[in-house]
Amino acid sequence: MYDFLKKPLCLHNTVQHYKWGSTPPDAYIPQLLGIDGEKSTNYAELWIGAHPSAPSKVNIEDNLVSLTNLIYRFPKFILGKRVADQFNNKLPFLFKVLSAAEALSIQTHPSKGQADLLHKTDRHHYPDKNHKPEMAIALDSLTALAGFATYFQCHKTILQYPEISSFLGQDALSDLFPHRKLSRKQQSEQLRQIYQTLIHLTQTKPGLYQRSVNTLAKRLQSKQHRHSLRESLFLDSLEKYGSTDVGLFSLFLLRIITLKASEAIAISPCIPHAYIKGNIIECMANSDNVVRAGLTKKFQDIRTLMTVLDYTPNSVRVISPTRVNNTYEYPVFTPEFKISRVELIDNSQIFNTANKIEIFLIINGDGILSWNFNENKEKISKGQSFIVPGILDNYTVTPRSPMTMFRVQVP
C-alpha cells in the first residue's frame, strides 16, 4: 500500500528572485543547480520544503504534486508518526540556499507567543502563527549584522560619529551613558533606551534626521581614506533607500560578524540581524514572519519592533560544527530541526531516519542513492535535493566522486 511513498523523492524547488540576490555569471544558485542563469536576474533564495508561499513539488506517477498537499494527504507516512503528532501534521522546518550580493533588511522574528498575537491582529503582514529561529551556515563566507554590539562599543561608535551624537542630543547622551559602572543587565537596559531613543527621534524629528544622515554621508564621501564596512553599508543603503530609512543610523549599533566557510550563527527569536553578503545554507522553523527594522522599502512595523527586540549585547556567537567521523554536526537549539554536513569520499554510508522525515541537498559531487536493502537505486548529483519519508527506515548514499551534502532532520 502506498508503495510510491516508500522511497526518497526528488524535490522540484522554487527560486526566489529578490533584488538583493546575486546575478550571473557569479550567482551561486544557478551554478548549484547546473542551469544557465538569466543575465541581470537576481537569484536570491532556493526554498526547499512545504511553506505555503513556495512549496517544493515531487513527481508522483508523472504528476508534479505540492509537498504541502502530499503531507496533508499522507501525514504519518511522509512525516513519520512522531513528527506528525508533535507538529500537527506539518513539516516543522524550511530549508534554504541563500545568495546575497547586497544587504537584506535589518529584521527580527517574533517568538511563538508574539507571532500568535501578531497573526491575530495583522494577518496580512504576519501570515502564520509560528516563530522563526534560524541557523545560517557559510558555504564560502558570510558578512552579517547580528545582535547588538556591547554597551561600550555603542558608546564609542556614537562618539566616533558626531552626526549621530548631535542627533541624539547632549541631554540624551548624558542619560544614556551615565558616568558609573553598570551591570550586564543594566547595560542591556541602556542599549534598549539608546535604540528606542534613536528610533523615536527618527519618527518625531524626521527633518533633523534627514539632515544628520546627509551631513554624515557628505563627510564620509569627502574622506580620502577607505571606508569601513559599516560606513560603506551606510552609504550604499542611503543611495538605495533614501535619507528617511530608520536603519541608516541604527546599523551603527549592531555587531558585525564575518563567517568563514562551514562556520555558522544561530538567530533566536527577537534578535536583530541582516545578512550583508555571502552564500549560505539556511534552515529555520517553517515560518515567514518578519518584523523589519530598516534598510528596506517594505513594510516596517516600528511599534512592534521596539516591543519585541532582544537587547542583550553580543547575543550571537560564531559556531563551528562538531566533527563525528565524516559528519559535521551543528548544535540543536530549537525542536524544529537539526542540520549536519556530510562529506563522502569513496565509501558508501547508510543513513538511519529513525522513522522521521528528513531532507538532504547535494552541493558537490555525484553518486548513487539506494534503498530497500539496495534493491532500488537512483543516480544523484550536485544541486539535487530529496525528501526521505518517515515511512522509510534508512537509505544509502554511494559517492562516485567526492560528495558534500547537507542533511536536515527533526531532533
pLDDT for 350-383, tens place per residue? 999 999 999 999 999 999 999 988 889 999 999 9
Contact 249, 123 (CB under 8 A): no
Measuring CA to CA, which residue among 401, 402, 400, 406 is closest to residue 351? 406
Model confidence at 62, pLDDT cuts 50, 70, 90, reads confident
The catalytic site residues sit at 292
**What is the extent of the structural domain holding 397?**
329-409
Q: How many residues does the chain have?
A: 411
Q: What is the distance between the alpha carbons of residues 283 and 77, in angstroms, rounded to a whole number?
A: 23
Q: What is the distance between the alpha carbons of residues 315 and 317, in angstroms, rounded to a whole number?
A: 7
- Same domain, yes or no: 124 and 11: yes
Model confidence at 1, pLDDT cuts 50, 70, 90, reads low
Average pLDDT for 382-392: 97
Q: What is the distance between the alpha carbons of residues 205 and 345, in angstroms, rounded to a whole number?
A: 61
Residue-level pLDDT at 343: 98
Confirm whether 323 is domain-assigned.
no
As beta bridge partners, residue 254 has 148
Confirm whether 313 is domain-assigned.
no
3-state secondary structure of 48: strand
Residue-level pLDDT at 408: 98
pLDDT greater than 90 at residue 392: yes
- Taking 3-state DSSP, the helix, strand and coil percentages for the chain, each rounded to the nearest 5, stand at 30, 30, 40
- Final residue of a structural domain among 250, 283, 303: 250
Q: CA distances (Å), 378 to each of 227, 371, 384, in order?
A: 52, 9, 12
Model confidence at 334, pLDDT cuts 50, 70, 90, reads very high
Model confidence at 302, pLDDT cuts 50, 70, 90, reads confident
Residue-level pLDDT at 379: 97
Confirm whether 363 is domain-assigned.
yes
- Same domain, yes or no: 124 and 207: no
- Final residue of a structural domain among 274, 292, 310: 292
pLDDT for 72-131, tens place per residue? 999 999 999 999 999 999 999 999 999 999 999 999 999 889 988 888 998 888 888 889
Q: CA distances (Å), 271 to each of 106, 123, 148, 211, 276, in order?
A: 10, 22, 8, 29, 16
Residue-level pLDDT at 127: 84
- Same domain, yes or no: 143 and 281: yes
As beta bridge partners, residue 181 has none
- Same domain, yes or no: 11 and 123: yes
Give residue 242's Cα distance to chain centre. Answer: 25
- Same domain, yes or no: 269 and 143: yes
Q: What is the distance between the alpha carbons of residues 409 and 176, in angstroms, rounded to a whole number?
A: 45
- Same domain, yes or no: 129 and 218: no
Q: What is the distance between the alpha carbons of residues 69 and 75, in angstroms, rounded to a whole number?
A: 10
Confirm whether 317 is domain-assigned.
no
CATH number at residue 387: 2.60.120.10
Confirm whether 388 is domain-assigned.
yes
Q: What is the distance between the alpha carbons of residues 40 and 195, in angstroms, rounded to a whole number?
A: 37
Phi and psi torsions of 217, nearest 5°: -60, -45
- Same domain, yes or no: 362 and 393: yes
**What's the structural domain count of the chain?**
3
Model confidence at 242, pLDDT cuts 50, 70, 90, reads very high
Q: What is the distance between the alpha carbons of residues 395 and 375, in angstroms, rounded to a whole number?
A: 11
Residue 43 burial (10 A CB sphere; 0-12, 13-18, 19+)? buried
* Assigned C-alpha cell, 395: 537509505
Confirm whether 139 is domain-assigned.
yes
Residue whose C-alpha cell reads 543516480 in the numeric block? 379
- Same domain, yes or no: 403 and 363: yes
CA angle 340, 267, 293 (to 5 degrees): 145
DSSP string, 341-361: EEEESSS-EEEE-TT--EEEE
Give the range among 176-185, 256-265, 291-300 with minimum mean pLDDT.
Answer: 176-185
Residue-level pLDDT at 154: 95
pLDDT for 30-46, tens place per residue? 999 999 999 999 999 99
- Same domain, yes or no: 142 and 162: no
Phi and psi torsions of 137, nearest 5°: -120, 125
- Final residue of a structural domain among 250, 273, 302: 250
Average pLDDT for 301-319: 91
How many other β-carbons are positioned within 10 Å of the β-carbon of residue 251?
23
* Assigned C-alpha cell, 46: 532556493
Q: CA distances (Å), 225 to each of 158, 221, 231, 409, in order?
A: 20, 10, 12, 48
* Assigned C-alpha cell, 203: 519618527
* Assigned C-alpha cell, 144: 552579517
Q: CA distances (Å), 78 to each of 2, 324, 337, 374, in order?
A: 11, 28, 16, 21
Alpha-carbon torsion 159, 162, 167, 170, what sign?
positive
Q: For 389, which DSSP code?
A: -
- Same domain, yes or no: 205 and 280: no
- Same domain, yes or no: 37 and 143: yes
pLDDT greater than 80 at residue 4: no
Residue-level pLDDT at 271: 96
Residue-level pLDDT at 285: 95
How many other β-carbons are positioned within 10 Å of the β-carbon of residue 160?
11
Confirm whether 321 is domain-assigned.
no
**What's the whole-model pTM score?**
0.94
Q: For 280, which DSSP code?
A: E
Confirm whether 307 is domain-assigned.
no
- Same domain, yes or no: 137 and 12: yes
